[in-house]
Amino acid sequence: MDDFIYDGLPSRVIFGRGTVAKLGAEIERMKLKRLLILATPQQVGEAEAIRDSIAGNCAGIFAGATMHTPVDVTEAALKMVASGEVDGTIAVGGGSTTGLGKAIAFRTNLPQIVLPTTYAGSEMTPILGETENGVKTTKRSMAILPEVVIYDVDFTLSLPASLSATSGMNAMAHAVEALYARDSNPITSLMAEEGIRAFASALPRIVEQPDDGDARSDALYGAWLSGVCLGTAGMALHHKLCHVLGGMFNLPHAETHSIILPHAVAYNAEAAPKIGEVFGRAMGGGPAASALFDFAGKLGIARALRDIGMPESGIAAAAEAVSGDPYWNPRPVTHAGVLALLTRAWAGEAPAA
């Protein structure tokens, strides 16, 4: 066994069906009085239901969360925090809403409760990605890590099958990259393999039958594991690519991760043989990159960046941005390598080593 360091993240997780009923008890346990509920414009209904359930503990609803956590949106929410004497936040939604809660916490140190409705997994990380002037940057701080996450499987039943598939692939990327990230260790590798296995089993069942509660439970379990992996082991080429593409072209977050993942795995396959070993056990035989590309096709997910709004003219600029300031990666990140990767991903071609 090689030497390793494992830092466990101190968050409280409540998992199951109907677990939203425990929200009031958690608010009381945390001694919070005035909470700001965060949501996207599309999830105002869910936010209002939470408001009604916590009665006098709600200081208001901010329903302006959006993908890539723009700094100006955070600043607008902070005005409500200040005017409402808020002492905590409740984020109801996916990665966009969770990101907003984390951005507020980073600036104020307010405690967070998160009620995920997707498989984003970011609720389990002390990592914040936010966008300003077309550039997405990341921060890492324990102030960013939510204190309580309530996973209620029932909250995910209404997530459309197509969004479930891309959200799940996004979470799988967290697990995959944890297999070779700089701070990878045996504990996160076990979680990563279990997370990949859970999604490999659950996502096809959800696409076929979106109201399958057991499949939804397995996927949410995978999201939790994958989020822990991301928060503990860190990021490499895959996340750098997605952060650059999201910031430069405002591409949809989960879809970008779904498309890039097979190509990033192909790029690192020889330098990180553990990927192949894990996929052999979790998803069957064959190269991991091909397995992921075929899996996305089976789920009906877009496999070309051009299909989600990236202009062909942006390939060169994105390659320059990624290779000019790369995250740590097991294989050196070169301009030529990234350019070839992005060219194939833009066109929707199968990944190539």
Residue 1 has a pLDDT of 63
Structural domain includes residue 7: no
The reply to whether 149 and 214 lie within a common domain is no
235: nearest Cα among 193, 183, 192:
183
Tell me how far apart the alpha carbons of residues 348 and 341 are, in angstroms, rounded to a whole number: 11
Structural domain includes residue 1: no
Residue 133 has a pLDDT of 87
The reply to whether 130 and 267 lie within a common domain is no
The reply to whether 46 and 114 lie within a common domain is yes
The reply to whether 210 and 250 lie within a common domain is yes
The reply to whether 149 and 165 lie within a common domain is no
Whole-prediction pTM:
0.92
Domain count, the chain: 2
- Domain of 152 in residue numbering reads as 12-156
Residue 135 has a pLDDT of 86
Tell me how far apart the alpha carbons of residues 116 and 121 are, in angstroms, rounded to a whole number: 8
The two three-digit tokens of residue 82, written as one number? 């200040």
The reply to whether 142 and 187 lie within a common domain is no
Residue 346 has a pLDDT of 98
10-37 b/e (C-beta count within 10 Å ≥ 16 → b):
ebeebeeeebbeebeebbeebebeebbb
The reply to whether 122 and 182 lie within a common domain is no
Structural domain includes residue 352: no
The reply to whether 131 and 110 lie within a common domain is yes
pLDDT in tens, the chain (353 residues): 677 777 788 899 999 999 999 999 999 999 999 999 999 999 999 999 999 999 889 999 999 999 889 999 999 999 999 998 899 999 999 999 999 999 999 999 999 999 999 998 999 999 999 999 888 888 999 999 999 999 999 999 999 999 999 999 999 999 999 999 999 999 999 999 999 999 999 999 999 999 999 999 999 999 999 999 999 998 999 999 999 999 899 999 899 999 999 999 999 999 999 999 999 898 887 799 999 999 999 999 999 999 999 999 999 999 999 999 999 999 999 999 999 999 999 999 999 87
The reply to whether 125 and 202 lie within a common domain is no
Domain end, chosen from 135, 156, 177, is at: 156
Residue 283 has a pLDDT of 86
Structural domain includes residue 4: no
